[in-house]
Structure 1
Amino acid sequence: MRVSAGALLCGVFLALAASPLVAGQAPATIEFRGENQAQWELVPYRRSITVSRGEVFETEFTIRNKSEREVLAGVLTEFGPPGADSALVHLGCGSTFSLILKPGEAAAVPASYFVAEDAPEKIGTFHMSYTVYSFEALSPDPRQVGRQIYASRCATCHGKLGRGDGRIARFLDGGVGDLRPALRRKADEPLLDAIASGVGPMPAFAPVLTVMERQALLLHLRDLGRVAP
């Protein structure tokens, strides 16, 4: 089930944690705004802050599921005014986030950005907004739950079909290998252990996925293992 766009779309202007200003550089002000909707709320960490160009900053917002069902929430980053999208640069796997949230659950999402040194000085104030673009209930079908979890937490590295061609795979040291041979070769237990504890650069998912969610993810991984090379 997908709620209406009118219930979902709103902006949050997010602040960045400050680094010391550099002499001779024009400072930039980052402003944010939060909104509270019937199904969810987005809460930025600060109201506004002044930073220097050419510096890296840490930032964070919290999204809360106010509905009575478990959902997959998608959050998109938007920038303003015109020209700010090239001046505010995200450091990491991209400026789109997906989170699985249980009823009443809140999750803090940290991210790193910097204001480019050549950002137009005529832009003294930047706006950085996070907009919910999808708020979809998780299916009771375990395989569908596994597909949703894989899409939100795994595909950016492993790729849609597990081939290791996710959009950030090339940025990881050594790249990301094709999952499918291991999925065809390994038993359930070592695969569930890898999901729970992490392997190499892959984080441990035991803190964020329940046992049932990890088992649902394994069902989808088994389906990927049956896809022809």
Structure 2
Amino acid sequence: MKQSVIITAGGIGKRMKSDLPKQYISVQGLPVLMHTINKFYAYDAEMQIVISLPKDFIQMWKDLCEKHEFNIPHEITEGGIERYHSIKNALQKVKGEIVMVHDAVRPLVSIQTISNVTEKAKSKGAAIPVLPIKDTLRKGDSENSQHQDRSEFWIVQTPQAFKLDLLQEAYQIPYSSAVTDDASLVEAMGKQVFLTEGNEENIKITTPFDLKLVEFLLEK
């Protein structure tokens, strides 16, 4: 079954306090985004890889590919105003029966996590990788809060995987700021999303600390 992945690289890195968006920051000799692409290529060298980039950074990415002699086949699509619009644009290029959507700044996704989510999507239609919450949870504010049962909550990762026709249908729903990921958009249609096991190293680089942690793990 043909598979595709949309890798979203639209962030501008405000919380990184860097002029360079985090997906282009070099770690262990390569930009973060290249490490991420390498993981999906290692999983399936025949997979269609579509990268969503802000218009102003497309040439920078091409220059980086030339500099690093990065030749893994991939297609580039121009990002939109919000993540929703970027994915909707990228879906026009997708050819796989199963499509994943992944954050560019999660370079340590494991091959097993990718396999888990794609296999579940093949059988169930929609799947996301998750991890159990280890910490104690409370809901409320500093004045009034209540303990929560952590067994009922999960940390959501990417890639999220779907049958293509299901995700295309979901993206006919108009944009809303309340929809934070692809799974919530699919659920807005009344469809069920199934959980699979993620991996703890699958960190989303958001802060300088996250970057240092990813550097450490890649070195190991």
Query: Which TM-score band applies after superposition, normalised by the shorter structure?
Result: under 0.3
TM-score between the two structures when normalised by the length of structure 2: 0.28
Higher strand share: 1
Higher helix share: 2
TM-score between the two structures when normalised by the length of structure 1: 0.27
